[in-house]
């Protein structure tokens, strides 16, 4: 019988792509999502891609009794991949309590329910924000976690601490935390992609929406950073490559290959690109020059970060494969498809 995986935030950007890869790998998936930043129709799109039915529960992970019902209904759950969280750096600075409540309570609820229903495996969606501004680049997993630059980053640090402390107290618990760098792109079928509600908080949908005319201009936050062109540098990873890392992490758990009950890995490409470089590459692959303006720095942003992925490459046997050009082109094709849908509705 195939193993059943609970994917929280499964209709979101990374969750939906991971659900596809899980189903392609033969896993059965139950999605839980409160649809605060996604749409229920994503579950249908996933089914279109894989040809497999996805169970979908419209539930908020901070609601303990509703989650208890999900665990009871779908028992046994063999593992959890926990994506459900608020995730915009800028918004977290303005609404810290929302971020602490949503991101911490959801994890604590899951850990309590895992014990109750004897589910021992969880893959946690962490972030390179746990490093703050690293002293040395590329950043390795051995780098110290510094004071977070934003409440969002701090929630990821605290969640990792909660997981580590629980692993120390509960020897049955198996955790892999994946520290993502910047996920971008869309599925090659253009059936799923990044679908922000309202004004995008992430760079790529803002670029594509500006290029297609939804946004008047793209704001680039600062050109006075200590980088070659003055704009922030990040490690941009294709969302399908990232999704595959979750499948590999799960397989590692089920095959008992873990070296300790708490492991964590950088998931990136190992290459840093500036915001202005990304805009330039997007223009080359799409043939469209997005209108942009340099504005002042944004609170919570770090200057530069990119991954040393040696540990994930060697231990997980995983590495990023897609080029940034193909990835940006996939994001543009996704935007063009969304534009067609918008025109149909008019």
DSSP symbol at 188: T
Residue with tokens 């060697």: 314
- Degrees, nearest 5: CA angle 248-192-345: 170
- Degrees, nearest 5: CA angle 171-9-134: 70
**Residue 152 a catalytic site member:** yes
DSSP symbol at 131: G
Could you say which of 152, 180, 225, 262 is catalytic? 152
What are residue 302's DSSP bridge partners? none
In contact, 127 and 180? CB cutoff 8 Å: yes
Compute CA distances 338 → 44, 209, 343, whole Å: 16, 10, 9
For 232, the token pair is 């922030």
Q: How far apart are CA 101 and CA 279, in angstroms?
A: 35
Cα-Cα-Cα-Cα dihedral sign, residues 114, 256, 22, 334: positive
CB 136: neighbour CB atoms within 10 A?
Answer: 9
CB half-sphere exposure, 81, CA atoms < 13 A: 33
- Residues catalogued as catalytic: 152
């Amino acid at each position: 019988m195939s193993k059943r995986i609970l994917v929280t935030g499964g209709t979101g950007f990374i969750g939906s792509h991971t659900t596809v890869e899980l189903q392609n790998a033969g896993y059965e998936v139950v999605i839980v999502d409160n649809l605060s930043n996604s749409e229920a129709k994503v579950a249908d799109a996933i089914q279109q891609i894989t040809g497999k039915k996805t169970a979908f529960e419209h539930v908020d992970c901070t609601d303990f009794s509703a989650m208890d019902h999900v665990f009871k209904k779908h028992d046994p759950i063999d593992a959890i991949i926990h994506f459900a969280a608020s995730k915009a750096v800028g918004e977290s600075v303005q609404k810290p309590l929302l971020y602490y409540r949503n991101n911490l309570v959801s994890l604590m609820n899951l850990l309590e329910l895992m014990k109750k229903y004897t589910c021992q495996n969880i893959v946690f969606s962490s972030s390179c924000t746990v490093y703050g501004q690293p002293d040395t680049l590329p950043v390795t997993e051995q780098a110290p976690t510094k004071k977070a630059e934003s409440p969002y980053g701090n929630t990821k640090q605290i969640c990792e601490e909660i997981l580590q402390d629980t692993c120390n107290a509960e020897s049955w618990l198996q955790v892999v935390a994946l520290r993502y760098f910047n996920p971008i792109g869309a599925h090659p079928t253009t059936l799923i992609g990044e679908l922000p509600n309202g004004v995008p908080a992430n760079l790529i949908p803002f670029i594509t929406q500006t290029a297609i005319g939804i946004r008047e201009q793209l704001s680039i936050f600062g050109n006075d950073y200590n980088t070659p062109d003055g704009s922030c540098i990040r490690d941009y990873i294709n969302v399908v490559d990232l999704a595959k890392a979750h499948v590999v992490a799960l397989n590692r758990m089920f095959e008992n290959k873990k070296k300790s009950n708490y492991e964590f890995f950088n998931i990136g490409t190992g290459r840093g690109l500036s915001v202005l470089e990304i805009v330039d590459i997007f223009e080359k692959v799409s043939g469209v020059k997005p209108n942009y303006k340099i504005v002042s720095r944004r609170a919570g942003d770090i200057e530069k970060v990119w991954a040393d992925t040696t540990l994930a490459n060697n231990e997980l046997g995983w590495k990023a494969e897609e080029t940034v050009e193909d990835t940006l082109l996939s994001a543009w094709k996704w935007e063009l498809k969304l534009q067609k849908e918008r025109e149909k509705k008019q």
